Amino acid sequence: MRRGSSLADFAEKIGADPAALVSALFHLGEMVTATQSVDADTFEILGAQLKYQIEIVSPEDEDRELLQDFDIDLAQELEDLNPEDLVARPPVVTVMGHVDHGKTSLLDAIRKTEVIKGEAGGITQHIGAYQIHHDHDGVNRAITFIDTPGHEAFTAMRARGAKVTDIAVLVVAADDGIMPQTIEALNHAQAADVPIVVAVNKMDKEGANPDKVRQQLTEYNLIAEEYGGDTIFVNVSAKKGDGVDALIDSILLTADAAIDLRAIAADDARGVAIEAHLDRGRGPVATVLVQRGTLKIGDAIVAGGSFGRVRAMLDEHGANVEEAGPSRPVQVLGFTSVPNAGDTFLVAEDDRTARQIAEKRQAAERNAQLAKARKKVSLEDFMEQSKISTLNLILKGDVSGSVEALEDALMQLDVGAEVDLRVIHRGVGAITKSDITLASASTAVVIGFNVKPEPQTAIFADQEGVEVRFYSVIYNAIEEIELSLKGLLKPEFEEIILGTAEVRDLFKSSKVGTIAGSIVTEGIIRRNAKARVLRDGAVLAEDVTIESLKRFKDDATEVKEGFECGIGVGKGADLQIGDIIQVFEMREKKRA
């Protein structure tokens, strides 16, 4: 069965009546309609009952079947290649490592530009790809670099990033040594079976100890050449630009030794979308890496559930490109919607085929999402439904990769059984009115990642009482959502000044100590409120309470501006004539 199939689909395969399957499931404590998308666990229960073994097809197999309907067989294409048609292609290099270890600054040093100065939290927010040229052994060689964002949240994408890459450069700071994400990046590279070159960065810093890094990495099967291993370690300083040429040479040496750097160029393009976002003026823009074939302007293109015609292609400098061959990263304009990061793209014969492939994929994805979103509701759950609280979220971001990574990270939050987290909608681009309407209808919180709402949308959100939060660093978002799920978002309080009174006279009272005959100069003075005493602008006593408040002989709960009163603050302060009594209260502050 495909992901997200319904009972009706199952009934058709086994020649049964869907209604019978509905009632069979009802007796097993599951309430499902015949046309609802059903998840794998429910099918398993049903299969066990009816003595069928139900297998859910993996998304890859499902996509393979779908493409075969259009006479496209990617695996067969690879087998049919004639080795004589292959041409040399540049190596594709992914830069990985721990957050703040200098991946982006190293890439900048390689590109000799100052691109990143304002990234929030030191995380590369926009996943770019660049091609550089380098003279190696007297030959001018091109190398393509993919910049992967370096935080755990991007594991999902980085795992994909490792599939498109030939060589991984592992960046380790010489002063910090090995960190959790260094290991994580390393595991990805080893799992994807790509050769690794280690760049020991920040050699210009005090306390830089490159030998320590070499020793630490031997535990993970990366043994430096100088220790008799076969991994190249290069000491670099991205800040000063030292060792960068040696690193590029090492990359090319590793590439030539370990990989067959050839691909077919005279064919329809196939490749991967590395990143995509919605540009205000240009519409959906996708950064794609061509893996084989040549992408030309005017090609009908499909990436995941998005399709379009290539209107224009730009290189990393924003210059127009007519065609892009193997290992060439380009920005493509002309998609009708924003593809997801990591979607494979292919060129179809014509626009109609491209649209049909995209629509079929969208339908399959929608069914799979429905099956995932549909929580299995049994009768027992209904009894306990009141105990389960659900946090619905709508995620909007500037780049599809970020939205996806954020969703993956949120889905992995472990907050116990009584709290349930659901992402009911995700999208790329500004927060729109329809997002707010959806949030209002399903009591959801809208999370904006690097996007802001249009002004009228913000007003609409206020009217609808929808909470919208903005983040520019992915782990702030994850942290806050985790806290709110655990109900740990402690309220913030702010101080509100209620009023001030000036002491004009003092009376002694055996019952309440000193009473200050005062006039209220602004606001109001309230009995039992917190107060402080100021003398000549300096705080004399903090945290005193208005214990008694009289207007002439009568007790009063509050006295307004311009009136006289007698104020008793107990033994908390030694008052003098001319002192100012300031009354305040702490109010819970609305979180921004």
Q: What is the mean pLDDT of the chain?
A: 81
The CA-CA-CA angle for residues 281, 284, 287, to 5°, reads 115
pTM score of the predicted model: 0.60
Write down the residue that tokens 């001319």 correspond to.
Answer: 578
Residues 6+ apart with CB under 8 A from 27: none
- The continuous run of DSSP H or E covering 77 comes out as helix 74-79
Q: pLDDT-derived band of residue 563, with 50, 70 and 90 as boundaries?
A: very high
What is the residue type of 562? Answer: G
Fold of the CATH domain 89-260: Rossmann fold (3.40.50)
Q: Give the model confidence (pLDDT) of 371-415 as tens digits.
A: 665 544 444 443 444 444 677 888 998 887 788 888 888 888 776
Question: What span, in angstroms and rounded, lies between the C-alpha atoms of 93 and 170?
Answer: 10
What is the residue type of 271? Answer: G
Pick the more confident residue, 531 or 77: 531
Q: How many other CB atoms are found less than 10 A from the CB of residue 36?
A: 16
Q: According to the model, what pLDDT value does residue 415 have?
A: 63
pLDDT surpasses 60 at 450: yes
Instruction: Classify residue 308 as left (phi > 0), alpha (psi -120 to 50) or beta.
Output: left
Question: What span, in angstroms and rounded, lies between the C-alpha atoms of 32 and 48?
Answer: 17
Q: According to the model, what pLDDT value does residue 127 have?
A: 44
Of the candidates 3, 331, 276, 274, the residue with the CA atom closest to the CA atom of residue 160 = 274
- For the chain, what's the residue count? 592
Most confident option among 83-87, 180-184, 435-439 = 435-439
3-state secondary structure of 397: strand
Region 76-90: mean pLDDT is 79
CATH architecture designation of domain 387-485:
3-Layer(aba) Sandwich (3.40)
Q: Give the model confidence (pLDDT) of 294-350 as tens digits.
A: 999 999 999 988 999 999 998 877 788 898 888 888 999 999 998 887 788 899 988
Q: How far is CA 94 from the centre of its chain?
A: 20
CB 136 within 8 A of CB 248: yes
Region 204-216: mean pLDDT is 85
Q: According to the model, what pLDDT value does residue 163 have?
A: 62
Fold of the CATH domain 492-589: Elongation Factor Tu (Ef-tu); domain 3 (2.40.30)
Domain boundaries, the chain: 89-260, 387-485, 492-589
Axis crossing angle, helix 18-27 with helix 40-50, rounded to the nearest 10:
100
What are the CA-CA distances from residue 399 to residues 215, 232, 494 (Å)? 38, 34, 36
**Identical fold between 89-260 and 387-485:** yes
